[in-house]
A and B are shown apart, each in its own frame.
Chain A
């Protein structure tokens, strides 16, 4: 963990209520795909945890959805604005277990962390396949960005207005894969858990106090003990998850 004052270098709307913000500053504390950063916003007491979509030596890309007062204010941040962040939070995905052909499944604003993960798996010489699930055509983002990495991408929409009509699981059940990684809403997780044929990792969300393990606000029970979503998570392995929470 590190505290960094970032500078906004670009900020744009990329889908319905969904924004992409690129920040410039020290990214050395970010060590794994699927970690998050916690932003301090003027006028709000608690920080806002946002997953890292992508990062390099001096920039970090965040994609977030406007869901409440904090993100509503965030969307008005402009290039040149400064923002106080705690970076490199959470465990992130473990790519060592992926096998040759991992499957990446992103649902809605669970799509962003899949992007850096996909790049990392490719760099490790693996052949990831990607499924992106959305409600409707207005919500779709990052299909072209994933395609540009040279991976197979399938987009589903629940209302059939774009790509395959239905849910990510409708596509997943016909694919062969060695492992899976997913981030998205919990109903999607439960559906995936019913059809998945391999081990995998899920990235969870919870209301957090601090985001760095001090307050015990986001604890959950797992088969390997109590874990803090912000510290030992947000990524959990399929075998340890207790679904009846």
Chain B
């Protein structure tokens, strides 16, 4: 075990850095820039049973220290992901990938996960019950402990791979939802998905995003994400994957002190496509500066 390595649900990661779903596609835009095998792993674009175009444009709005997106789970559908994206990925990524799964019904989540369970390349299933940009599904499962538990049970029944449940911050009590997922058999919790937000154009006097609202991410949300990771990590026994506004090696250490076993990096990839590689390179020096010998020893250290 190296100083940076961590164990996420029985699979060893060389380092805890994981580009977050929706900011890294299926990997190849970034593989053009650097060898993505330096990553711990990455979480691929949220995949649904059927192909989806997603929402109308504009889907993007800028904010102070962040951005709003309302992409709406655009993806080619799980059949194409398995027949085209994963074989393509195998050519330049040797590690296990995290499969991010979206859905609109419990049956759909289960069916998509069942299909991905058969894929050797997939190490973990990250079940997104928290997308703020789709109606009649997604976040509605993640805002209710019973709904969340139902999805977890249905997915656990069809897979032997570790199931990570990705939670929404747009709830009154995220701890109760995390505990419901743990009780239903989840192997890990990842958080936070984006915060529901909006912008209005002063020129048109109308919302900038065609879908009116969208998910707010970027540097600005880091303290909120950190707080929620701290709360959830203090309440569950399963490992927590922290994300939200992470853009530096210092942020990674802070997230791990709050209780994260691994750390996802999202919006920062869109602004600086090298950010994950740079964080991994900078981690040893930053650890040295703060007297951290191995990352494994600081997980939850702030509690």
Contacts and interface: CB of A to CB of B under 8 A. Distances in A.
Interface of A: 1, 3, 40, 44-47, 86, 206-210, 212-221, 226, 231, 245
Q: Which of A40, A208, A215 has the most CB of B within 10 A?
A: A215
Contact of B59 (A46, A217, A226): A217
Contacts of A218: 57, 59-60
A219 B74 contact: yes
A214 B273 CA distance: 9
Contacts of A86: 273
A67 to B, nearest CB: 9
A226 B74 contact: yes
Contacts of B24: 214
B99 interface: no
Nearest to B71: A216
Nearest to A229: B57
Contacts of B61: 207
A45 B59 contact: no
Among B54, B63, B271, find the residue whose CB has the most chain A CB atoms closer than 10 A.
Answer: B271
B69 interface: yes
B138 to A, nearest CB: 16
A221 B58 CA distance: 13
B271 A45 contact: yes
Interface in B51-80: 53-54, 56-67, 69, 71, 74
Interface of B: 22-25, 29-30, 32-33, 45, 53-54, 56-67, 69, 71, 74, 208, 218-219, 267, 269-274
A118 to B, nearest CB: 30
Nearest to B53: A226
B64 A45 contact: yes
Contacts of A217: 57, 59-60, 69, 71
B270 A210 contact: yes
B25 A45 contact: no
| Interface class of chain A by DSSP | loop
Contact of A209 (B45, B67, B272, B274): B67
B63 to A, nearest CB: 7
Interface of B is mostly: loop
Given A1-B273, A47-B271, A217-B59, 10 more contacts: A3-B273, A40-B271, A40-B272, A46-B67, A46-B270, A207-B57, A214-B29, A215-B60, A219-B54, A220-B57
Contact of B22 (A206, A215, A231): A215
B30 A45 contact: no
Nearest to A213: B29
A219 B270 CA distance: 15
A45 B53 contact: no
Which 9 pairs of residues, A with B, have the shortest CB-CB distance?
Answer: A210-B270, A217-B60, A207-B58, A216-B74, A209-B60, A207-B60, A213-B29, A46-B62, A217-B59
Contacts of B64: 45
A219 B51 CA distance: 14
A45 B218 contact: yes
Nearest to B74: A216
A154 B269 CA distance: 44
A213 B25 CA distance: 8
Contacts of B25: 213-214, 216
Contacts of B62: 44-46
A210 B25 CA distance: 11
B67 A45 contact: yes
A209 B215 CA distance: 13
B29 A209 contact: no
Contacts of B33: 1, 3
5 contacts: A1-B32, A45-B63, A207-B59, A216-B45, A218-B57
B37 to A, nearest CB: 18
B77 to A, nearest CB: 12
Contact of A221 (B30, B53, B63, B267): B53
A212 B74 contact: no
Contacts of B30: 214
A212 B29 contact: yes
Given A209-B69, A219-B53, A214 B58 contact: no
Contacts of B219: 45
A206 B56 CA distance: 11
B60 to A, nearest CB: 4
A47 B57 CA distance: 18
A220 B30 CA distance: 22
Contact of B273 (A206, A210, A245): A210
Contacts of A231: 29
Contacts of B74: 216, 219, 226
B19 to A, nearest CB: 9
A217 B57 CA distance: 8
A215 B69 contact: yes
